Amino acid sequence: MVTREEPRPGLGGEAAHHAAYLRFLRATLLERCAALPVSEQRRPHVPSGWTPLELVDHVAHVERRWVVWGFLAEPVADPWGDWWQGDTATRWHVPEHRTLEDVAADLRATAARTEELLATTPLETRAGTGGRFGAETGEQLPDLRWIVFHLLQEYARHVGHLDVAVEVAGGPTGE
């Protein structure tokens, strides 16, 4: 059952549209994963081996890396906590004790920070240094607009991946 709606035109400025689409994509991701039984959330359905829950956790970490650690330059405990180094490969990993509700709570907390930024910060504002981005590299720091576009493409790509995995797992298809 679809409980979300694609944002409509006329929301105001550019940042309001970005915030609305991020909200829509987050809701889609969580709805798709929740449509599966817990056992299917934790089982790989594609050859690369990730699980639907791992994908949701990955995207939660991505947004935290880019917004909190990156743009805001705030310390983040274990910014790469979605990755696990095994004997032969590095891959996404969610510890057994973490549930979709836990991952969703983390995602929503970071989303609230993103929403606040988009409501109060000009899109031309450059990221701070000291978190993900250091001044020592000499590279131009990304602005909030670039970071949000990066997040939008990350979410859109992974929602598409999850659509396929959920369909293969016997869950709902498409919109």
Query: What would the pLDDT profile of 82-130 be if each residue is shown by its tens digit?
Result: 887 666 656 888 989 999 999 999 999 999 999 999 999 999 999 988 8
Is 118 a domain residue?
Answer: yes
Is the separation of the CB atoms in 52 and 159 below 8 Å? Answer: no
Is 5 a domain residue?
Answer: no
Calculate the dihedral angle through the C-alpha atoms of 122, 127, 131, 135, rounding to the nearest 10 degrees: -160
Is 79 a domain residue?
Answer: yes
Per-residue pLDDT, 86: 62
96 residue type, one letter: E
Is 93 a domain residue?
Answer: yes
DSSP3 helix / strand / coil % (the chain, rounded to 5): 55, 5, 40
Is the separation of the CB atoms in 83 and 90 below 8 Å? Answer: yes
Per-residue pLDDT, 1: 46
Is 50 a domain residue?
Answer: yes
The Cα-based distances of 60 to 1, 9, 64, 125, 168 in angstroms read: 23, 27, 6, 23, 23
Residue 169: closest CA among 2, 1, 35, 40 = 40
Calculate the dihedral angle through the C-alpha atoms of 166, 169, 170, 171, rounding to the nearest 10 degrees: -30
**Total structural domains in the chain?**
1
Other beta carbons less than 10 A from residue 160's beta carbon: 10
Q: Which residues of the chain have pLDDT under 70?
A: 1-4, 7, 85-90, 135-138, 174-175
Domain CATH for 98? 1.20.120.450
In three-state secondary structure terms, 60 is helix
Is 58 a domain residue?
Answer: yes
Structural domain for 55, as ranges: 18-129+140-168
